[in-house]
Amino acid sequence: MNHMKKLFLGLALIGGQLMFAQKVVDLKVENGQKKEQPATISKEKVNTYNDNFLAFINALQSSDRKTMDGLLSDKVKEIVTDDVLKKVKDGIDYSKKLEILKVGYYVTMDGISHPNIKYKYAGDKSSKEAISAVFDDDGKILGVLPAKSEK
């Protein structure tokens, strides 16, 4: 009978270990929060976005609100106030010509990729970004962000 108790205790210990054993799963973490993706935007679309942006800048300079509203995406029209436009206007140097620095995509907080063009001032040797513009797929402007100027 004593051997039976030892055998039962041994089986209970082994069974308990098997019952509470955990399966180890390999976990791989990928860099999911990328803000930019490499450019794969066609030349025609880049030209359309660029033309819309330059028209927006000209309308901003002359304070033509009707033209600006026509170039803005419906998603942002309600939140773009005169105060917001004034801040953007103050962040741009109109005496310098803009040229495209880099084309790519900008991923918004909701995870959607939007076309993005980064501009620099012509003749600026440093290749430092002056303005970033984010567009809807149809060419309407979602956002314009002048770079911080060091004064």
pLDDT at position 51: 93
The whole-number pLDDT of residue 39 equals 47
70-89 per-position pLDDT tens digit? 999 888 888 888 888 888 88
Average pLDDT, the chain: 81
CA 61 to chain centre: 26
Looking up tokens 């995870």, which residue turns up? Answer: 111
Does the structure show a pLDDT above 50 at 136? yes
Quick one: pLDDT band at residue 29, thresholds 50, 70, 90? Answer: low
Instruction: Report the C-alpha gap between 74 and 113 in whole angstroms.
Output: 17
Residue 15: both structure tokens together: 């069974």
Distance CA 114, CA 142 (A): 9
Asked if 147 and 139 touch (Cβ cutoff 8 Å), the reply is no
Query: Does residue 114 contact residue 134 with C-beta atoms inside 8 Å?
Result: yes
Contact between 131 and 146 under an 8 Å Cβ cutoff? The reply is: yes
Mean pLDDT within 102-126 = 86
